[in-house]
Amino acid sequence: MIDYEKEFERQPAYVERQKLVATTFKLVYGWMAAGLALSGVVAWYTAASGLWEKVLMGPGLWGCIIAELVLVFTLSGAIRKLPTAVAALMFIVYAALNGLTLSMVFIAYQLALVERVFFLTAGMFGGLALYGSFTKSDLSSIGSVCGMAVWGLILAGVINIFMHSSGLDWVISIAGIVTFAGLTMYDAQKIKSMAAAEGTMDDALVRKFGILGALSLYLDFINLFLYLLRFFGRSRD
């Protein structure tokens, strides 16, 4: 009896597509790891050196946030038009700027707690990304719901600035963890599907896809980490 599934997997087009997916994932996780490492080093140095008092006090914080948003939307919207070197530089600058703002984590929370939550996040993220990459279930509906939930989290956060409700803060933390867990699975599946669907991407486009995918998963990781830290942590007095 002919095993049609195995025969299909031997076809040259299928083999090439799988190679493309593997290459894309290597680039995605390579860039993501580099971005997280850069952000971590910048955050630690900014907090330890006292640089945060000069950079993030007053308009400096808002300047960093606005610059980060501009970089994210530019990379996401114009990735195909940007030269690979420019896209890579923008990702590096974004990771460095995010490191500046993340330095507040080292100011607000004990280092031991930050380390524990980071490793917890890494374990959760790894499992979620693996599931998203290999499940045969369509996660599009989860992605849509979680995408809408992000706007709800932003609105709830703004409201709680004025309410100062510990109960609402707890709900926001739980909702944030669930939302970015779902987005991690969805984005991992989306990256794999897009790489497989393109099929004929040249090397430059593959590298740019790798950067864009790294940005998506980097954002998922950072937000998952921050919401877990918010849930488990207690700010210093």
Q: What is the pLDDT of residues 170-202, one digit of tens each?
A: 999 999 999 999 999 999 999 888 777 655 567
Q: Which of 80, 34, 28 is nearest to 216 (CA)?
A: 28
Predicted TM-score (pTM) of the model is 0.89
Do residues 221 and 121 lie in contact, with contact meaning Cβ atoms separated by under 8 Å?
yes
Whether residue 84 contacts residue 208, with contact meaning beta carbons closer than 8 Å, is answered with: yes
Per-residue pLDDT tens for 14-69?
556 667 778 888 999 999 999 999 999 999 999 999 888 888 877 888 899 899 99
**Cβ distance 146 to 179 under 8 Å?**
yes
Domain ranges of the chain: 14-232
Residue pLDDT, tens place only, 104-159: 898 889 889 999 999 999 999 999 999 999 898 999 999 999 999 999 999 999 99
How many C-beta atoms surround the C-beta of residue 166 within 10 A?
A: 9
Tokens of 6: 């195995």
Long-range pairs for 41-46 at CB < 8 Å and ≥24 separation?
Answer: 41/99, 42/95, 42/96, 42/99, 42/100, 42/102, 42/103, 43/99, 43/100, 43/102, 43/103, 43/105, 43/106, 44/103, 44/106, 46/99, 46/100, 46/103
Write out the E strands in the chain: none
